[in-house]
Amino acid sequence: MKTITLKAALIIFIALFSSCSKDDDTSENKSITSFENEGSWNCELGETCEDVYQFEFKAGSKISISVEGITGMSVVSLDLAADFGQFGGPNLLTEGDVTYYGCTGQDEDVAVVNIEISETSTYNLALARDWGLSAGFDGTYTLSIISDTSFKDIALPINNTKATNYERECP
């Protein structure tokens, strides 16, 4: 009788734990309401480089973006645009212009709040390190995004890519 009970318990135990895996606890593209990442730039000589993140935001969402803890005498500019298969679409942070949002100096935090998302889509968020206003080649930062609705972090960031057609404005 003890062997039957022990065998039954062992079978149940194996069945329960064989259906679970480490991957079950974390799902790719999980919906979140906040995101935080520590990043860094390492730009080429004379180049404004950027790290590009991709998120899926829902229409009607209000999001806030902050970039803090900036180092390396870096000047940050931001571009948030719907993904049209390329970077550089109309920037939500500059009222639809194709310029980057940039209103700070070296190592100054950036915060843009209550950005209204007009359509459900994949959005590219580029954090550019302005070569002409920064000093040196590299720097670090912490990116934070908060939304009043859930959103998805859908791709690993593209790091240290050249910012093409880079222009900055402070609306």
Q: Does some domain include residue 154? A: yes
Beta bridge partners of residue 40, listed in sequence order: 140
Mean pLDDT of the chain: 84
pLDDT in tens, 38-83: 999 999 999 999 999 999 999 999 999 999 999 999 999 999 999 7
Beta bridge partners of residue 138, listed in sequence order: 42
Angstrom distance (rounded) from CA 58 to CA 122 = 9
Q: Does some domain include residue 43? A: yes
pLDDT in tens, 90-104: 899 998 888 999 999
Q: Does some domain include residue 1? A: no
Mean pLDDT of 19-42: 71
Question: What is the SS3 assignment for 1?
Answer: coil
Torsion of CA 82, 83, 88, 93, to 10 degrees: 20
Question: Domain limits at 50?
Answer: 32-162
CATH of the domain at 45: 2.60.120.380
Amino acid 18: pLDDT: 38
pTM: 0.80
Q: Does some domain include residue 94? A: yes
Angstrom distance (rounded) from CA 89 to CA 106 = 26
Rounded to a whole number, what is the largest CA-CA distance in the chain? 80
Q: Does some domain include residue 17? A: no
Angstrom distance (rounded) from CA 37 to CA 92 = 21
C-alpha 74 chain-centroid distance: 18
Q: Could you give the number of structural domains in the chain?
A: 1
Question: What is the SS3 assignment for 71?
Answer: coil
